[in-house]
Amino acid sequence: GISVMPNMSFGNIYGMADSKLRLAFIGVGLRGTNHLNNALQRKDLEITAICDVDPERIKIALKKIEEAGFKKPKVFGDSDYDYRNLLELKEVDAVVIATPWLWHTRMAVDAMKAGKYTGLEVSAANTLEECWDLVNTHEETGSHLMILENVNYRRDILAVLNMVKQNVFGELVHFRCGYQHDLREVKFNNGKQPYGGGVEFGENAISEAKWRTWHSVLRNGDTYPTHGAGPIAVMCDINRGNRFVSLTSNATKAIGLHNYIVKHGGEDHPNAKVKFKQGDVITTTIETAKGETIIVTHDCNLPRPYSLGFRVQGANGLWENDGDRIYIEGKSQPHRWDSDKEWLKKYDHPLWQKFGEHATGAGHGGMDFFVLNAFVESAKQNIAPPLDAYDAAAWSAITPLSEASIENNGEPQDFPDFTRGLWVRRQPYNWIKDTY
């Protein structure tokens, strides 16, 4: 008898309360702390170690852990590679890695080699070589890797996935998605607060502006593809009966970040001389083995309201996230959009129906609860996660391939087949259930 009470405690619901997962955190900055907060709500975890090179972030994390009544974890972060000492601990079963992008792959590779069940923040890898490192290390060690893509758990996304699985759209044909988020106050700050208040980046800045902005200086490509491509990849069974085959990518000129510096720091500010390589709007078109196309947009350097711009289109009709609208032939008035409200309610995912109320407090409207829940539940059983090493590699590969295409005037770039042919018979994960 498993009973779910209104004040349910996660981890008891599967009758596994006494088998606690021993979790460690590598990186307790803003993102890692968000995961930590959600972990501290659970009854099925111990937090045995944390690592961060910033002592201030360690202090904050320790305080939260103590206040939640958890045992004090071991602390690491004396040097950049101290995380390797954390990985040697026997009392760590699983790790969540939430660090600057250039650390992601090497930390995940080391974690898998140490036999840890590994959760890796987005994006997972920066180069094709790193994508292969993730796949090869997973295969060689047998350790599991989950890419912690929270948008795959967004309520509308899971409802639309439910509709896809129930064939509401018919045979799938075309998708759109992207990361369209005005990040100017994320990419620049005054060295005192994480968001805005100045036009500093790199050493003079804190938090993301310390490292993320360099990717816009040095790389002309879609540096953040997974919030869009991850959810679509699951809808069209990428690496499980389908795969990304090739892409083309084009970039506009780069004016947004420079304009921001001049407007808020003046023409004489040293950063006004910085030349940003990343085009303001980057448009990538992916072709899949099943003959679908996916348009992925990266739009983070200009003023605009947030939208991931999803569109899911098949033989019977389509859903669009912008405008919250849907059209299904035979159900909708001919040639007229319907509001998607009733549809999303009707196909609301079992996970959201069960945990929605609890999840809503967890950050990013609830999806952060679900992504950590999927990670923890998979790690407790040491079974393959819903979003695995092949997914991490295929989705992250969009970045280097888009760079190569842009560099070559939109020339098509082939995706490596990270499954080495197994995509033909790998079965889709069973997404429509109320456990994780």
User: Which residues here bind ligand A2G, judged by CB under 6 A?
Assistant: 150-151, 181, 186, 208, 227, 364
Is residue 51 a contact partner of residue 74, using CB atoms and an 8 Å limit? no
- Kindly state the smallest distance separating residue 206's Cβ from ligand A2G, in Å: 13
208 vs 222, which CB is nearer to ligand A2G?
A: 208
Neighbours of 286 (CB within 10 A): 28
**186, 208 in Cβ contact below 8 A?**
yes
Rounded Cα–Cα distance for residues 117 and 375 (Å): 9
Comparing CB distances to ligand A2G, the nearer of 135 and 296 is: 296
Nearer to ligand A2G, 97 or 186 (CB): 186
Residue number, 47 or 177, with CB nearest to ligand A2G:
177
**d(C-alpha 168, C-alpha 156), whole Å:** 15
Q: Closest approach of Cβ 407 to ligand A2G, in Å? A: 24
Look at residue 224 and give its three-state secondary structure.
Answer: coil
User: Which single residue is written with the structure tokens 């008891």?
Assistant: 12
Q: What's the min distance (Å) between Cβ of 30 and ligand A2G?
A: 7
How many residues appear in the chain? 436
Distances in whole angstroms, Cα of residue 178 to Cα of each of 169, 185, 288: 21, 19, 17
CB of 151 to ligand A2G, least distance (A): 5
| Residue number, 225 or 279, with CB nearest to ligand A2G | 225
Question: Minimum distance between the CB of residue 32 and ligand A2G, rounded to whole angstroms?
Answer: 13
Spatial contact of 309 and 285, defined as CB atoms under 8 Å apart = no
65/186 with CB nearer ligand A2G? 186
Minimal distance in Å, beta carbon 194 to ligand A2G?
A: 8
* Three-state SS at 166: coil
Residue closer to ligand A2G (CB basis): 86 or 374: 374
Closest CA to 357 of 36, 70, 5, 35: 5
Q: Whole-number minimum distance, CB 343 to ligand A2G, in Å? A: 22
Q: What is the DSSP string of 107-166?
A: HHHHHHHTT-EEEEPSS--SSHHHHHHHHHHHHHH---EEE--GGGG-HHHHHHHHHHHT
> Which residue has the closest beta carbon to ligand A2G?
186
